């Protein structure tokens, strides 16, 4: 590193950028120079999605992080995703453009409280949604994502008692789909809890042919109305395969960029939230910008670190998820 750059209190490198620079070219140059790979979630802003080497849902991103031969993984996503990449590839440098890109769902499950909760169910297996801290993963038996949660629960014996956390909405959806009685942690995502059933109903009256696509982090009232429920990759694939032309999208708005790119002749309408704001942006995901991505690659900061002792325990439930997913062809 040829710089004395520091991360400011806001969680990212702050530095004047020459306004004549083409950041797309600069990022491409840095990728080659440093043998770096940019992994981006679908909720990132369009420019970041366009410069990424791989765009995907949480499962796809973990699979990429586990198999990449790059020296540096630049994670354009949120903190728990970059942590997962570090746990899977501890020998690599993992960068996150903004260290404060957190997650309300991960925050809703503090590990010290979850440890106590778990003690009440000593004969239960713990499945945690990947949207949680590394410390929480270290307290788990199997990690899952929205694209494999149902399959992972179904892969276990029918009489296996299970705690599922931290997302109560995904947990309730999995319980319903599998017919299992899961013990749920009471956590939720601020973006997916905000959709309004009344406003979606009115929108459907104006667009009678539109199909409602919903992420399983949404509340049950929204999921009951949905024509298709799936992870971000699932929603994208469904919209692309479908012969329908109009879709109402009940998840973070960033996914619409890829939906529109892959389906220029189709119309994608963001599902309206329960307040006066017209946007479904995740404030954590949207902390990353192209400028922060460039500065993070240039300065190799902020870097994600996870204590070795946590890595040792957290890697097992993540690897178990990847193994089950591979067996099931997911």
Output the smallest distance, CB 216 to ligand 13P, in A: 8
Q: Which is nearer to ligand 13P, 38 or 295 (CB)?
A: 38
Burial class (CB in 10 A: 0-12, 13-18, 19+), 266: middle
Q: Which residues bind ligand 13P (CB under 6 A)?
A: 57-58, 131, 145-147, 189, 215, 217, 231-232
Give the nearest distance from C-beta 202 to ligand SF4 in angstroms: 24
What does 284 bind: ligand SF4, ligand 13P, none (CB cut-off 5 to 8 Å by kind)? ligand SF4
Closest CA to 124 of 169, 171, 84: 171
- Phi then psi for residue 291, to 5 deg, are -65, -45
- Find tokens 């802003």 and name the residue: 45
CA distance 36 to 22: 18
Q: How far is the CB of 81 from ligand 13P (least distance, A)?
A: 7
Q: How far is the CB of 63 from ligand SF4 (least distance, A)?
A: 18
Structure tokens given for 91: 């020998």
Residue 165 CB coordination number (10 Å): 28
> Which residues of this chain interact with ligand SF4, rule CB under 6 A?
43, 78, 103-105, 131, 189-191, 252, 282, 284-285
For ligand SF4, the closer CB: 42 or 294: 42
Give CA angle at 242 (237, 246), nearest 5°: 105
* Closest distance of CB 144 from ligand SF4, Å: 14
Q: Is 113 helix (H, G, I), strand (E, B) or coil?
A: helix
| Cβ atoms 163, 121 nearer than 8 A | yes
Partner touching 190 among ligand SF4, ligand 13P, none, CB below 5 to 8 Å by kind:
ligand SF4
Is the Cβ of residue 192 or residue 211 nearer to ligand SF4 in the bound state? 192
CB nearer to ligand SF4: pick between 191 and 212: 191
Using the structure block, give the residue that is written with the tokens 């309730």.
Answer: 172
Partner from ligand 13P, ligand SF4, none contacting 280, C-beta within 5 to 8 A by type: none
């Amino acid at each position: 590193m040829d710089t004395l750059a520091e991360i400011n209190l806001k969680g990212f490198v702050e530095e004047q950028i020459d306004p004549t620079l083409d950041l797309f070219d600069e990022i491409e140059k840095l990728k080659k120079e440093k043998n770096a790979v940019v992994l981006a979630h679908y909720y990132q802003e369009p420019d970041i999605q366009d410069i990424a080497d791989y765009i995907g849902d949480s499962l796809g991103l973990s699979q990429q992080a586990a198999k990449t031969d790059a020296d540096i993984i630049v994670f354009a996503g949120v903190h728990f995703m970059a942590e997962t990449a570090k746990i899977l590839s501890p020998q690599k440098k993992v960068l996150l453009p903004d260290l404060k890109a957190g997650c309300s769902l991960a925050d809703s499950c503090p590990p010290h409280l979850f440890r106590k909760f778990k003690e009440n169910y000593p004969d239960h297996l713990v499945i945690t949604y990947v949207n949680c801290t590394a410390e929480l993963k270290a307290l788990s038996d199997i990690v899952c994502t929205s694209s494999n949660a149902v399959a992972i629960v179904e892969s276990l014996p029918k009489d296996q008692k299970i705690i599922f956390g931290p997302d109560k909405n995904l947990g309730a959806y999995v319980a319903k789909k599998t017919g299992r009685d899961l013990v749920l942690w009471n956590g939720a995502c601020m973006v997916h809890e905000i959709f309004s059933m009344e406003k979606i109903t009115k929108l459907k009256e104006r667009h009678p042919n539109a199909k409602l696509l919903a992420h399983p982090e949404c509340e049950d009232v929204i999921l009951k109305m949905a024509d298709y429920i799936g992870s971000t990759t699932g929603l994208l694939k469904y919209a692309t395969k479908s012969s329908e032309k109009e879709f109402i999208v009940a998840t973070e708005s960033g996914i619409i960029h890829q939906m529109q790119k892959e389906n220029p002749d189709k119309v994608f309408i963001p599902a309206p939230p329960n307040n006066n704001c017209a946007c479904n942006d995740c404030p954590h995901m949207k902390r990353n910008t192209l400028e922060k991505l460039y500065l993070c690659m240039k300065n190799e900061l902020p870097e994600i670190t996870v204590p070795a002792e946590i890595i040792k325990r957290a890697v097992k439930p993540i690897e178990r998820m990847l193994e089950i997913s591979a067996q099931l062809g997911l």
